[in-house]
Chain A
């Protein structure tokens, strides 16, 4: 069972890449505080929470940034033109509600306009919108009015999303990518018992624009081992053949073998599988051909870092309605706890 209140705080706080300070950073600091010895925020905004130990130095990373939009210019008639921060499909913006972040913890609403079917040409009905057709309507009648409302070039926008339960075991929310992993990281810190490991829990920034936070935090930490926690694709939905599911909801945590940014250290992959078997933690494999994770930046740090990763399977990622299964979340926490408790036994 997930800690619903904690998860809600973590997923609903704003924090688009480079703008994690708008909300999520403080939530993360607060959440880690009881379980670690030291917390610092670096020059890019990474939260680095250190639980001291005399064993191997381990870096665990989950990125706290989310994809979003940035205002690029304001039209004379008050509409906002936007560009994606991270990978956004413009089709996910039509007829959506948005939060336009005027300041830390302060927003106004906006909507992604759509063309009513009544006035669409038949040939346009089958076409996906392009970025040039996307605009956000904040109710302003002029550029001046939009500016009075606090909107500027560079203003950050997120979907108006929230956490809800879905069926018996499932959850739906904005930003499960990668806040479900940030939650996993916090729960791991919370549930950890005895370990000799010298642990750095890092809520990284700017993963969605190129694994940038993980790169600089890994440089500073200089870990012996690295682990990333992220979401992976669960394409176990109608119309997708089984061999293209990547993972399935409810089948356990996904141990990463490879994605476009990293080939996980094979010894770590095997060792994680043994741990999962030993402690009866449900697991599946994650081989993802598109997309990368912080593991990609960590394993290339300095002279190289043996790195592994786990993923929480998620449907509909990079949308306002990402879905995960809480049993997979629980399994992910359990496996990360065991990894840290046994890290002294790992031989590379």
Chain B
């Protein structure tokens, strides 16, 4: 069963790329420390938790950074102008609340919206872009905004809005990738007997270029690398291109980024424990930490384990609790069952 309280805590802890120290890092350390042998934070801020074993060295990574915004200008009327950190669609920000982390504590801002009454007919068809997204923090002047603690470089993220849709579905900002981070934490807690030498990594700066996983995998030098990241679930407007569906269970990719031996092993484990496993084709290197892990040093046998979600990179990312539960089980069993094996594709 999914621990909703912990999931919510993990989802809501602050930590835009590069600023994971603002909250999520301590949550991860607090949760993982009791169940691992060693835990450390590296120079980029990755949390690396080591659960020792004599078997194959495996790195399992879920990124703890979030997409967000950064203030790049405060104008004389007190409005904040922001730039994206990671892939934020400016259209998702209109008429939304943003939670900022200022020198004087947490502050909210809102992105204004031009009332339909005042819009010209041709403007109604235009999408918001970064020039039109302006944040109102309640200040009437630059000085007042600065007095409130805002400055160039202040970090903001989507305001928390954890919503239970029904028995099985939740919607909230930042399931990417906190739902997988939560899943990895639960798997770490659930593991009993294992041979594998396991490194749990809560990686930083994935959203700005897989940077945390790059340095963590260099330091760890694993044989096997598993990225836990969200993937797309069937949704409106997907033109039938998306195969995995909400409630269908965890998803694992196939493609050049995936070692076929590790993937076949995952199939066996899923079958043994009767966990439905969905497949997704990834003809290119994936947009996950597995991309950079695969080309670490002399090469790593990589795979991706995903919780499917709808509406990725929005405030209403939606997941199914049954998928989360099954993904925890699959991650636990994969790590428990791992034995030395030939990893040649």
B283 with A84: CB separation less than 8 A: yes
A147 to chain B, nearest CB (A): 12
B298 with A42: CB separation less than 8 A: yes
Q: Does A154 contact B (CB under 8 A)?
A: yes
Residues of A contacting B260 in the complex (Cβ-Cβ under 8 angstroms): 21
Q: Does A346 contact B (CB under 8 A)?
A: no
Q: In the complex, A143→B320 CA distance in Å?
A: 27
Q: In the complex, A72→B243 CA distance in Å?
A: 8
Interface size class of A (residues with CB under 8 A): 20 to 34
B256 with A153: CB separation less than 8 A: no
Q: In the complex, A16→B221 CA distance in Å?
A: 27
Dominant secondary structure at the A interface:
mixed
B281 with A72: CB separation less than 8 A: yes
Q: Does A3 contact B (CB under 8 A)?
A: no
Q: Which of B146-180 contact A (CB under 8 A)?
A: none
A27 to chain B, nearest CB (A): 16
Q: Which of A234-258 contact B (CB under 8 A)?
A: none
B243 with A18: CB separation less than 8 A: no
Closest B-chain residue to A84, C-beta based?
Answer: B283
Within 8 Å by CB of B259, from A43, A73, A85, lies A43
A73 with B344: CB separation less than 8 A: no
B345 with A44: CB separation less than 8 A: yes
Residues of B contacting A210 in the complex (Cβ-Cβ under 8 angstroms): 285
B256 with A43: CB separation less than 8 A: no
Among A18, A152, A206, A219: residue with most chain B CB under 10 A: A18
B283 with A85: CB separation less than 8 A: yes
B256 with A219: CB separation less than 8 A: no
Contact A43:B281 (CB < 8 A) given known A153-B254, A209-B256: no
Q: Does B43 contact A (CB under 8 A)?
A: no
A71 with B344: CB separation less than 8 A: no
A219 with B297: CB separation less than 8 A: yes
Closest B-chain residue to A213, C-beta based?
Answer: B299
A219 with B298: CB separation less than 8 A: yes
Q: Does B294 contact A (CB under 8 A)?
A: yes
Among B239, B281, B283: residue with most chain A CB under 10 A: B283
A43 to chain B, nearest CB (A): 4
Q: Does A17 contact B (CB under 8 A)?
A: yes
Q: Does A10 contact B (CB under 8 A)?
A: no
Q: Does B144 contact A (CB under 8 A)?
A: no
How many residues on chain B are close to A (CB under 8 Å)? 29
B241 with A72: CB separation less than 8 A: yes
Q: In the complex, A216→B171 CA distance in Å?
A: 40
Q: Does B93 contact A (CB under 8 A)?
A: no
Closest B-chain residue to A46, C-beta based?
Answer: B299
B293 to chain A, nearest CB (A): 11
B295 with A132: CB separation less than 8 A: no
Residues of B contacting A43 in the complex (Cβ-Cβ under 8 angstroms): 223, 259, 298-301, 343-345
Q: In the complex, A216→B243 CA distance in Å?
A: 32
A216 with B285: CB separation less than 8 A: no
Among A42, A44, A215: residue with most chain B CB under 10 A: A44
Contact A73:B255 (CB < 8 A) given known A215-B295, A216-B298: no
Within 8 Å by CB of B299, from A19, A42, A71, A209, lies A42
Q: Which of A18-74 contact B (CB under 8 A)?
A: 18-21, 41-46, 69-73
Residues of B contacting A17 in the complex (Cβ-Cβ under 8 angstroms): 256
A135 to chain B, nearest CB (A): 12
Q: In the complex, A139→B174 CA distance in Å?
A: 44
Contact A154:B281 (CB < 8 A) given known A18-B257, A43-B300: yes
B255 with A18: CB separation less than 8 A: yes
Closest B-chain residue to A18, C-beta based?
Answer: B256
Residues of A contacting B243 in the complex (Cβ-Cβ under 8 angstroms): 72-73, 153
A132 with B299: CB separation less than 8 A: no
Q: Which of B24-47 contact A (CB under 8 A)?
A: none
Q: Does B279 contact A (CB under 8 A)?
A: yes
B344 with A41: CB separation less than 8 A: yes
A83 with B283: CB separation less than 8 A: yes
Q: Does A162 contact B (CB under 8 A)?
A: no
A216 with B295: CB separation less than 8 A: yes
Q: Does A9 contact B (CB under 8 A)?
A: no
Q: Does A8 contact B (CB under 8 A)?
A: no
Q: Does B280 contact A (CB under 8 A)?
A: yes
A-B contact pairs, 10 of them (CB 8 A): A45-B345, A69-B283, A72-B241, A152-B279, A154-B254, A209-B284, A212-B285, A212-B294, A215-B295, A217-B298
Q: Which 9 pairs show the lowest CB-CB distances between chains A and B?
A: A18-B256, A154-B254, A216-B299, A220-B298, A45-B345, A44-B299, A70-B283, A43-B299, A72-B281
Which residues does B use to contact A, with CB under 8 Å? 223, 239-241, 243, 254-260, 279-281, 283-285, 294-301, 343-345
Q: Given known contacts A21-B260, A72-B241, A153-B254, what 8 new A-B pairs fall within 8 Å (CB)? A: A21-B345, A42-B298, A85-B284, A154-B255, A209-B284, A209-B285, A216-B295, A219-B297
